[in-house]
Amino acid sequence: MIIRDPSSLDWAQWYSDRTRWPIDRDIFLADAVLHIAPMIVFPWDNDIMMGLVAPPAPLLPGPDHAFSPDGTPISEVHEAWGPALLAYMPLAEYEAMRAVSGNPASWAVRYEPDPTGGAPRPRAIAISGDAVAISYDHWNLAAWNAAETTTFREAAGIAIPHLARQIALMALEGSIGITARPIGGGEHVDVSPDDWMIDDPSPRIASCTINLEQPRSTSAPATHLLFVRKDGFEAAAWVHAQRVPLSLIEEGVTPKEAGVTGPRPSTAWKALEDQTVREMRSHLLANPHAYTRPELRAVVGNVSDTVFEKARNRVREEFSFMKEGGAPQGRDRRPPAGK
């Protein structure tokens, strides 16, 4: 089994710009991932996806550690951390960021190209060779950006493999329908749930593609783009999300506890009932004699009596042996004679 480092995958291709998504009646896989993410992960920000492709940022002290209360630079801190800060956010880059909302023309005349091909240099520094003076605002912005990048990278390393696994499990259990469309255009074909029996779903979630000649390989050259059927997706995603919430903060707050809401209750209940039916069916196919209420209850977990009975009645229509005798509605089934 080969599990790839998520940061080695190309997440920017589909997750950095929605305008590049293919147009289709079904939901493009990247869209589905970003749709379910806030239901599963708290707190969620779409920039977390880019955390895996952002270069590592230095751990920089805050500006209050680099400047005295009157704004005077603390020399020993600047000597120790100044080079790392300037390598991460050069003065020209900082000035350019300020110029976006200021006067770009005035910025341009203060800088000249670096003869080595690096970032533009302030003209005074290019002439005198003096050390770059880092202002409080420059230090503050660089330290804040570095801390945010580090936070996103750490969050992405936890959240994205979890999200990839949940999408794969939903596809494998059949709670969401996956289709594939040839790259370059063509008709959709269904992707079998069994084609999600893969060691590591992250590469597939990152590329949003599949090779239909080798559907259980995540390294084969892509032949098709992946989509999720709209019908029932949101409700199924919400029901699944309640079972596998992930908190990225020490307090352990889940999306539902934070106030994230899902589809209409009636739609969610139907999705939960469908999920319960699938779990019962899978259990009975493997264990046809274990069909008493307590045995089925142990399989489906914590669902309401109403959902359980509706799901059980649907399964009884499929597995006729469950109708042979038994206890009244709401009571444990009596075993057949001789059992």
> Is-contact 168 80, C-beta < 8 A?
no
State yes or no: pLDDT of 117 exceeds 90. Answer: no
| Highest mean predicted confidence (pLDDT) among 2-11, 193-202, 312-321 | 193-202
Q: Which of 92-106, 118-132, 153-167, 168-182 has the lowest mean pLDDT?
A: 118-132
Contacts of 198 (CB under 8 A, 6+ apart): 168, 204, 216, 217, 218
**What confidence score (pLDDT) does residue 133 get?**
81
Cα(209)–Cα(60) distance, rounded to whole angstroms?
39
Mean pLDDT of 31-52: 90
pLDDT average, residue stretch 188-206: 95
3-state SS, one letter per residue, for 141-166:
HHHHHHHHHHHHHHHHHHHHHHHHHH
Tens-place pLDDT, residues 232-288: 898 889 888 888 999 998 888 888 888 887 766 667 667 778 878 888 888 888 888
Show the DSSP H helices in the chain as ranges.
12-15, 29-40, 48-51, 63-66, 75-88, 91-100, 104-109, 123-128, 136-173, 202-207, 233-243, 265-286, 293-300, 305-318
Among 64-73, 181-190, 249-258, the range scoring the smallest mean pLDDT is: 249-258
H/E run at residue 190? strand 189-190
pLDDT band, very low/low/confident/very high, at 325 (cuts 50, 70, 90): low
Residues 6+ apart with CB under 8 A from 214: 220
Q: Residue for token digits 């805050």?
A: 62
112 SS3 class: strand
Cα 176 from Cα 235, distance rounded (Å)? 10
Residue 67, strand partner residues = 73
Q: What is the mean pLDDT of the chain?
A: 84
Average of per-residue pLDDT across 122-127: 55
Chain segment 129-143, per-residue pLDDT in tens = 445 688 898 999 999
